[in-house]
Amino acid sequence: MFVRGNARRSLSLVVLLFVCLLPFAKAQTDPLPSWNDTSPKQTIISFMQRVTQEGSPDFVPVDQRIATFDNDGTLWVEQPMYTQLAFVIARVHALAPKHPAWKTTQPFKGVLEGDMKAVEATGEKGLVQLMAATHAGMSVDDFQKIVSDWLATAQHPRFKRLYTECVYQPMLELLAYFRANGFKTYIVSGGGIEFMRPWTERVYGIPPEQVVGSSIKTQFEMVNGQPVLMRLPEINFIDDKEGKPVGINQYIGRRPIAAFGNSDGDQQMLEWTTAGSGPRLALLVHHTDAVREYAYDRTSTFGRLDKALDEARAKGWIVVDMKNDWKTIFPPQP
Amino acid sequence: MFVRGNARRSLSLVVLLFVCLLPFAKAQTDPLPSWNDTSPKQTIISFMQRVTQEGSPDFVPVDQRIATFDNDGTLWVEQPMYTQLAFVIARVHALAPKHPAWKTTQPFKGVLEGDMKAVEATGEKGLVQLMAATHAGMSVDDFQKIVSDWLATAQHPRFKRLYTECVYQPMLELLAYFRANGFKTYIVSGGGIEFMRPWTERVYGIPPEQVVGSSIKTQFEMVNGQPVLMRLPEINFIDDKEGKPVGINQYIGRRPIAAFGNSDGDQQMLEWTTAGSGPRLALLVHHTDAVREYAYDRTSTFGRLDKALDEARAKGWIVVDMKNDWKTIFPPQP
């Protein structure tokens, strides 16, 4: 079959063989080049060796290799505010000409005038109004286009690059390393599921079906004989804190064996992950680098890390010291 | 590398090569041996050739090859009643000794006495009571064990085999055929998501994370210092009719290009699937075989097929005539 095949077939067999052998070649190189050779990297690599080595008492079959990653502050920047909040503000400005009453009505007035204290004063009711005005009342397809269009040009105020470029290079390497070892990588974020799905595959290599997040309700409707999913101004699910294990169970239906976060919103996900039997990995990114990124933890408005930090230290979860454990923060400017 | 390698390495390379070549060898054999060579099989195979042939105008990249399958009546038997309803009845009998009041209280009295008319008379309120008594009040892990234990011995009343053996051999072949061609196969069922996940991987090759279904709410709790997900007596999501496109969007986040059902509960899923651009496949299993399985459609209590049958004929969706299109119904008795 090999000897007598025609040239095209021989070529495709060689390509095929090369693809098959690629994992062997890759295993020789450093899978985490942006990580310093400190304790977090060593613990991660040791974990991976144990769960992937057949015959090891800690071996985990491929179908059970599930790893979940928070997004805001774990995979991309969440300061000076969550990117989705920057999107809300931008949408209010963009839509304001069609809503003249917003000039004199909170919480919209506050957003338009940059008076975030006035916005905060409207409490949960105000937030729901902002969400309804910017996230609901259009089809799922239309919303995805609005998100994609905004992200295509909106820049981070400090780093002057696209928000989708304000992602952590060491975490991109971690995602690739886990996938190369047979893991399914999931996002499990308090952020909006439909706000993430349009770009997570391109940026993180995580397809839409592996994104878990908060959501509003949608409704199936026939519009001019065409089926449409409309977004309703009603909360469906909050995928944060106690909601993260609920979301993991609802969407994935298995307990992860590795989980990655950076704030108190991830505490229950890490508890749920590590409470299973067999080898477990839990990691918190601690933002300690005011020069290259930001330094914040116990008192931050966004991504507060307080109780989870204490629990991490008590339980031996990995705590990444961004300043000391990461060689670089962001990928090279494209 | 090949010539000088030691024997073990050479052997593993041969095995690897064999695995790589397997798809080529398989392509020569009939992928759907339990299907007669009638129109449905021809349409399915033609669809597959078009979407998988690179350079074809209908080519679909692998990451967009999503196929969704209803479960009850599409992958396994749903007569004389949904299997999950048989489970509810069995659980009420099993739990009755601990609930003496059930002997005199509907809907439990009706279940215990086999008086389904009395149960029906209690309406939705009664159904919610039955659901709460049999599906809630325990952890997710405990419920999965209860389901698995029951399915390990419960037999279908007519076919005298396990319910998980009352699955359709032609559909098992279809699932494998789609996966062999790069599709991700999903269940999208009105049945309970946690009722299916314990066994779908073993029976259908569909892992828990690719099962979409109806659900009740769960809650994260700490019990004796251990995190537990408790099942609450409250509906979370009904994955039927208009709910199926909603569930598909919520869990998968992409529109399928192929969808398979058998009842009016699948109509909107097939509408949603076929309304996308490019090649689309929609199929309904029509139960026409009273001898080998069951014959039912427009007036059936379970799996009614009425409006969707009309729409299938109007829109050219595939309608499988079970009696004429399928050589066999069930896999050989193990």
> For residue range A201-239, what is the model confidence (pLDDT) as tens digits?
999 999 999 999 999 999 999 999 999 999 999 999 999
Cα-atom radius of gyration of chain A, to the nearest Å? 22
Q: Tell me which chain A residue has its CA closest to the CA of residue B1.
A: A21
Q: Please give, rounded to a whole number of angstroms, the shortest distance from the CA of A226 to a CA of chain B.
A: 7
Query: Does residue B262 contact residue B73 with C-beta atoms inside 8 Å?
Result: yes
Integer Cα distance of B271 and B311 in angstroms = 9
Chain B neighbours among A 4-23 (CB < 8 Å)?
16-17, 19-21
Q: Looking at the partner chain, which of A209, A246, A275 has a beta carbon nearest the beta carbon of B226?
A: A275
Mean pLDDT in chain B? 93
pLDDT exceeds cutoff 70 at A247? yes
Could you tell me if residue A298 is left (phi over 0), alpha (psi between -120 and 50 degrees) or otherwise beta?
alpha
Q: Tell me which chain A residue has its CA closest to the CA of residue B25.
A: A1
Does A227 sit within 8 Å of B184, measured CB to CB? Answer: no
Least confident of A69-83, A129-143, B23-37: B23-37
* Percentage of chain B modeled with pLDDT above 70: 92
* Chain B contact present for A251, CB below 8 A: yes
- Please list every residue in chain B whose beta carbon sits closer than 8 Å to the beta carbon of residue A271: 227
Integer Cα distance of A260 and A251 in angstroms = 17
pLDDT exceeds cutoff 60 at B124? yes
Tokens linked to A210: 């592996």
* Chain B contact present for A54, CB below 8 A: no
Q: What is the pLDDT of residues A157-205, one digit of tens each?
A: 999 999 999 999 999 999 999 999 999 999 999 999 999 999 999 999 9
What is the model's pLDDT at position A55?
93
The stretch B81-108 carries a mean pLDDT of: 97
What is the model's pLDDT at position B5?
44
* Chain A contact present for B275, CB below 8 A: yes
| Rounded (10°) CA dihedral B48, B205, B304, B243 | -90
* Percentage of chain A modeled with pLDDT above 90: 89
Q: Looking at the partner chain, which of A220, A242, A243 has a beta carbon nearest the beta carbon of B242?
A: A220
Q: What is the pLDDT of residues B291-323, one digit of tens each?
A: 999 999 999 999 999 999 999 999 999 999 999
Tokens linked to B171: 């559909």
| Rounded (10°) CA dihedral B37, B40, B41, B47 | 140
Q: Please give, rounded to a whole number of angstroms, the shortest distance from the CA of A112 to a CA of chain B.
A: 32
Q: What is the pLDDT of residues B165-215, one digit of tens each?
A: 999 999 999 999 999 999 999 999 999 999 999 999 999 999 999 999 999
Does A246 sit within 8 Å of B218, measured CB to CB? Answer: yes
Q: What is the pLDDT of residues B20-70, one digit of tens each?
A: 555 555 456 899 999 999 999 999 999 999 999 999 999 999 999 999 999
pLDDT exceeds cutoff 80 at A20? no
Determine which of A10, A216, A220, A255 to mutate to test the interface with B (most B C-beta atoms within 10 Å). Answer: A220
- Please list every residue in chain B whose beta carbon sits closer than 8 Å to the beta carbon of residue A251: 209, 251
Does A197 sit within 8 Å of B226, measured CB to CB? Answer: no
Residue holding tokens 């050219």?
B316
Mean pLDDT in chain A? 93
What is the model's pLDDT at position A3?
38
What is the model's pLDDT at position B333?
82
What is the model's pLDDT at position B260?
99
What is the model's pLDDT at position B334?
72
Residues with Cβ within 8 Å of A170's Cβ and at least 6 positions away in sequence, in order, are: A32, A34, A35, A325, A326, A327, A328, A329
* Chain B contact present for A208, CB below 8 A: yes
- Please list every residue in chain B whose beta carbon sits closer than 8 Å to the beta carbon of residue A227: 245, 268, 271-272, 275
pLDDT exceeds cutoff 50 at B9? yes
Q: Looking at the partner chain, which of B66, B193, B229 has a beta carbon nearest the beta carbon of A246?
A: B229
- How many Cβ pairs within 8 Å bridge chains A and B? 91
Q: Please give the model's pTM, rounded to 2 decimal places.
A: 0.91
Query: Does residue B108 contact residue B227 with C-beta atoms inside 8 Å?
Result: no
Determine which of B221, B249, B266 to mutate to test the interface with A (most A C-beta atoms within 10 Å). Answer: B249
* Chain B contact present for A271, CB below 8 A: yes
Residue holding tokens 């009664």?
B126
- Please list every residue in chain A whose beta carbon sits closer than 8 Å to the beta carbon of residue B184: 209
The 3-state secondary structure of chain A reads CCCCCCHHHHHHHHHHHHHHHHHHHHCCCCCCCCECCCHHHHHHHHHHHHHHCCCCCCCCCHHHCEEEECCECCCECCCCCCHHHHHHHHHHHHHHHHCHHHHHCCCHHHHHHCCHHHHHHCHHHHHHHHHHHHHCCCEHHHHHHHHHHHHCCCECCCCCCEHHHCECHHHHHHHHHHHHCCCEEEEEEEEEHHHHCCCHHHHHCCCHHHEEEEEEEEEEEEECCEEEEEEEEEEEECCCCCHHHHHHHHHCCCCCCEEEECCHHHHHHHHHHHCCCCCCEEEEEECECCCCCCECCCCCCCCCCCHHHHHHHHHCCEEEEHHHHECCCCCCCC
Q: Looking at the partner chain, which of A201, A229, A250 has a beta carbon nearest the beta carbon of B246?
A: A229
Q: Looking at the partner chain, which of A16, A197, A254 has a beta carbon nearest the beta carbon of B253?
A: A197
Q: Tell me which chain A residue has its CA closest to the CA of residue B247.
A: A218
Does B275 sit within 8 Å of A226, measured CB to CB? Answer: yes
Q: What is the pLDDT of residues B254-279, one digit of tens each?
A: 999 999 999 999 999 999 999 999 99
* Chain A contact present for B211, CB below 8 A: yes
Does A184 sit within 8 Å of B208, measured CB to CB? Answer: no
Q: Please give, rounded to a whole number of angstroms, the shortest distance from the CA of A324 to a CA of chain B.
A: 32
Q: Looking at the partner chain, which of A19, A66, A218 has a beta carbon nearest the beta carbon of B249?
A: A218
Chain B neighbours among A 134-153 (CB < 8 Å)?
140
Query: Does residue A18 contact residue A255 with C-beta atoms inside 8 Å?
Result: no
Q: How confident is the model at residue A18 (pLDDT cuts 50, 70, 90)?
A: low
Q: Please give, rounded to a whole number of angstroms, the shortest distance from the CA of A188 to a CA of chain B.
A: 13
- Please list every residue in chain A whose beta carbon sits closer than 8 Å to the beta carbon of residue B243: 220
Q: How confident is the model at residue A334 (pLDDT cuts 50, 70, 90)?
A: confident
